[in-house]
């Protein structure tokens, strides 16, 4: 796994490493000690799997509020999804900024702190995604140099 810092402090990309051969592949999608080494101390409490029936499905900006605020680690399993996170925190040095990118089948995951809204649009005919959720803040503030 590799961790990539993005423009907004509490959002990051986790690039997954595939190990495979002619039979298929395996990749770790989450490992507590690897995340902790990057100062990402997430206590995930829920694992969701969602599928959209057609291309173009838009899921609006999602921002669950306390007491159900949720940090997320979102990963495309099948197809392609464009994810975006927006900094709406007044006083933040990146207030008003957004970061986004295409997540294709199992290549990366987007980590989003509970304080930031998240949206996605489906780019492929069929898709599936997995979201790990935490009920505590997940500061995706990666270690310098990673």
pLDDT tens digits for range 16-48: 888 889 998 888 888 888 888 888 877 788 888
DSSP secondary structure letter of residue 143: P
Residues 6+ apart with CB under 8 A from 89: 95, 115, 116
In the chain, where are the structural domains located?
2-18+27-134
Q: Could you report the per-residue pLDDT of 32-89, keeping only the tens digit for each?
A: 888 888 888 777 888 888 888 889 988 888 887 776 778 888 888 888 888 899 999 9
In the three-class reduction of DSSP (H, G, I as helix; E, B as strand; rest coil), residue 115 is classed as coil
Does domain 2-18+27-134 fall under CATH 2.60.120.10? My reply is yes
pTM: 0.80
């Amino acid at each position: 796994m590799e961790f990539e810092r993005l423009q907004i402090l509490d959002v990051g990309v986790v690039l997954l490493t595939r190990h495979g051969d002619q039979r298929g592949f395996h990749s770790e999608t989450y490992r507590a000690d690897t995340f902790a080494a990057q100062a990402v101390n997430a206590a995930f409490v829920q694992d969701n799997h969602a599928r959209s029936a057609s291309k173009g499905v838009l899921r609006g900006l999602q921002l669950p509020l306390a007491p159900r605020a949720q940090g997320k680690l979102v990963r495309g399993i099948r197809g392609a999804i464009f994810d975006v996170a927006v900094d709406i925190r007044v006083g933040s040095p990146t207030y008003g900024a957004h970061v986004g990118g295409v997540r294709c089948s199992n290549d990366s995951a987007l980590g989003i702190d509970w304080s930031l809204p998240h949206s996605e649009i489906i780019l492929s005919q069929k898709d599936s995604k997995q979201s790990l959720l935490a009920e505590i803040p997940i500061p995706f503030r990666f270690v310098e140099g990673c």
